[in-house]
Homo-oligomer: A and B are copies of this chain.
Amino acid sequence: MDFGGNKTRKENEKTVGVVETNIAKIPLPNDGFELECGRKLKELQVAYETYGTLTAEKDNVIFICHALSGDAHVAGWHGKVGEGTAGWWEEMVGPGKGIDTNHYFVVCANILGGCKGTTGPSSINPETKKPYGSDFPPITVRDIVRVHSLLTRYLGLDKIAAVIGGSFGGMQALEWTIQAPDRIGSCICIASATALSAQALAFDIVGRRAIMSDPNWENGDYYQSGQVPSEGLSLARKIGHITYLSPEMMGQKFGRERREQSGDSYHNANLFLSNFQVESYLEHQGEKFVARFDANSYLHITRAMDEYDLEAAYGKIENAFARIQSKILVVALSSDWLFPPEQSAEIANGLLKCKKNVSYCCLTAPHGHDAFLVDVKHLSSVVRAFLPWVGKKTIRDDSALRGIPPMLYKAYNVIEKWVPEESRVVDLGCGNGILMDLLAERKKVRSLGIDISIENIITVIDKGHDIFQADIDGGLAMIPDKTYDYAILSDTLQVVKNPRLILNEMVRVAREGIVSFPNFGKLTHRLQLLFRGKMPKSNTLPFEWYGMELPRTPEFLHKSHGLVMSLGQFNQWVSSQ
């Protein structure tokens, strides 16, 4: 994750413009700010930036939690626009962007323990008038979040419309949502986890050891020596950078390319420094990091990250999640191996178990973990759709049925009659969510959509529904048992690969299942329209029941069209064919 350095400004790029980091000296009780470890900080200052305009109701606050090595400067430019230092998430935050500063009042603060203006190990200890160094107390994610909380109160911001974070920032966002359910309206948790995996721990462990092995570290008291543990910090950063990129992207970006074409590798200035491009890259990352980051901050923050463990803290994840009142969006990145998609899926699954409002998507992201910083195209759209106001389409007026294609009209009408008010529904293959609209509008039904397409995910999230991105052909592993009143498979059975699997999964996740078929009208013509390009041409009807014991004939299709059945009725009907 590279939060530093200049970025070339694109022409016509919208930006919040020139910004400055502010420092807040947080008023504390006389004995100071008590940390989770029991020790107290006598003074607490927090560096923060804000963009956009606060509404009179103060209800448009978005708080961004930064990751391991970030800072308060999330958007805009220090110095001159296009020439100074751009914010680390400039692509995401600004007018018209994913986090739209035309609508929101955005706050980002450097975390406790950091080295970018908020109290940390390199700050002056008011009791000794020297930098804390080895005397800086251990901190936790909860401490970090409590500092964010104090800052927002200090700024007069009681309600946080949304808290957003990626990676370690996602842990903070989650923790805040759990700690202050009354203050947090919604939460976006990107490429994160409720605890690091053993492998991620291992990389941090080696990184810390590299710093501690550097003779300049001096047990943390190096500030006055004039010598910083730069070799150790650089090593730690290089290990980190390997884990931030997917192996495929590392292969694509660097492969085995070399800096110069000579190919004579026996006469390097140093035999053991290769001329592989990947070495130059890592060296460069190490050097940049050493110039902008403090080794003790790295130690303290990675330690806090390693120790974070919601399950250990609450006995089980569900005990933590039970406290949450906000809507949550969980975003995974497909080729992230540091915070792999399974860990995001676990969060989403745990929230479903607690019957929370949660959406989940796994973005195609070849970069790996770094994608949340460098490849924000889809991420911006998903975030923008999820945030409470921006881009909301006004389709949920009384005319919800107007959006329904004629061939689904009859089936939807029946489903609407069958589903009781305020029941919990999962809509498998929900498409753009029209049935969900209808049931929300007419029956006050809270439904979860399941769909594979990112465009549908964005549309449905934008409408305010919950949705999980998943391939229903692979089953519904992320949905806990008996979580729903109704599982609906509408106009979808004919395109699934393994109907038996889906039908069994419907029985597992819901009390009742409903299967419906489109009413094609002039059947053959419409079918050709529907399946054009999707199925291979053939003499028989291009309507395949992969592996299912169903007659695969035009007659069957004629019989099924427009039908709506409970699972029991459907099974009876199939065996009668």
Contacts and interface: CB of A to CB of B under 8 A. Distances in A.
A256 B195 contact: yes
Contacts of A255: 198
Interface string A353-380: 0000000000000000000000000000
Given A138-B266, A198-B255, A299 B278 contact: no
A265 B270 CA distance: 41
A199 B266 contact: no
Interface in A247-261: 247, 250-251, 253-256
Contact of A278 (B201, B211, B235): B201
Given A272-B303, A307-B265, A210 B210 contact: yes
Contacts of A546: 546-547
Interface string A516-548: 000000000000000000001011100010110
Nearest to A232: B213
Nearest to A242: B202
A282 B199 CA distance: 11
Contact of A276 (B37, B201, B238, B272): B201
Interface in A54-79: none
Contacts of A155: none
Total copies of the chain: 2
A102 interface: no
A398 interface: no
A485 interface: no
B199 A256 contact: no
Contacts of A238: 202, 205-206, 209
Given A238-B209, A239-B206, A303 B271 contact: yes
Given A213-B231, A270-B212, A251 B282 contact: no
Interface in A102-148: 138
A266 B547 contact: no
A235 B307 CA distance: 22
A197 interface: yes
Contact of A256 (B198, B205, B251): B198
A201 B265 CA distance: 15
A424 B238 CA distance: 50
Size bin of chain A's contact surface: 35 or more
A195 to B, nearest CB: 6
A370 to B, nearest CB: 14
Interface in A305-328: 306-307, 309, 312
Nearest to A546: B547
A218 interface: no
A214 B215 CA distance: 9
A198 B271 contact: no
A279 interface: yes
B201 A266 contact: no
A397 interface: no
A37 B266 CA distance: 7
B205 A274 contact: yes
B274 A303 contact: yes
A210 B198 contact: no
Given A242-B203, A272-B303, A274-B303, A235 B210 contact: yes
A238 to B, nearest CB: 5
Contacts of A232: 213
A555 interface: no
A31 interface: no
Given A197-B250, A205-B238, 8 more contacts: A198-B251, A199-B250, A201-B256, A206-B239, A235-B235, A256-B312, A271-B299, A540-B549
- 6 smallest CB-CB distances across A and B, nearest first, come from A213-B231, A198-B250, A199-B247, A37-B266, A198-B254, A202-B242
17 contacts: A38-B266, A195-B256, A198-B253, A198-B278, A201-B276, A202-B250, A205-B274, A205-B279, A206-B235, A206-B242, A208-B272, A209-B273, A210-B210, A213-B231, A256-B312, A539-B549, A546-B546
